[in-house]
């Protein structure tokens, strides 16, 4: 049996049994490419395409009063090369900020911070 992780905020105990599943679903449904959160990935290629996002609710924490879970964003980077476009798939670490309604029925992502630093490392 998996031990429950209790993360506390000033307003409520954020952890509940269904948090990982509900946060994972919220990540799958979040329209990342339609938000300003997408900007760091959009800058990486002339045709960056969103492929998906994972959220790791088991590792969620409360930091400075905000609920945050680590995650990964998967993208396809397309470069217009003369005669033959180059396509690369990559994933990037992310911090996923979310809220939980008072009845613990809904988890909503409020923003995503994507770390693209690894893309620029040699």
What pLDDT was estimated at residue 120? 78
Q: Is 15 within 8 Å of 62 (Cβ atoms)? A: no
- The closest alpha carbon to 93, from 110, 78, 108, 113, belongs to 113
pLDDT of residue 22: 94
Domain boundaries, the chain: 19-116
Measured between alpha carbons, how far is 51 from 54 in angstroms, rounded to an integer?
A: 10
Q: What is the pLDDT of residues 75-119, one digit of tens each?
A: 999 887 667 778 889 999 999 999 998 887 889 999 999 999 988
Closest to 25 measured CA to CA, from 95, 98, 93, 103: 98
Per the CB < 8 A criterion, the answer to whether 71 and 55 are in contact is: yes
CA neighbor of 26 nearest in space, from 122, 107, 119, 113: 107
> What does pTM read for this prediction?
0.82
Per-residue pLDDT tens over the stretch 52-69 = 999 999 999 988 889 999
Q: What is the pLDDT of residues 12-47, one digit of tens each?
A: 456 688 999 999 999 999 999 999 999 999 999 878
């Amino acid at each position: 049996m998996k031990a429950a992780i209790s993360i506390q905020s000033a307003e409520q105990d954020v952890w509940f049994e269904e948090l990982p599943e509900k946060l994972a679903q919220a990540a799958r449904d979040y329209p990342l490419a339609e938000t300003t959160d997408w900007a760091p990935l959009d800058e990486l290629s002339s045709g960056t395409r969103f492929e998906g996002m994972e959220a790791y609710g088991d590792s969620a924490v409360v930091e400075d009063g905000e609920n945050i879970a680590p995650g990964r964003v998967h993208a396809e980077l397309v470069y217009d090369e003369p005669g033959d476009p180059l396509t690369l798939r990559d994933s990037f670490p992310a911090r996923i900020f979310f809220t939980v309604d008072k009845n613990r029925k809904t988890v909503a992502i409020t923003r995503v911070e994507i770390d693209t630093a690894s893309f620029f490392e040699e």
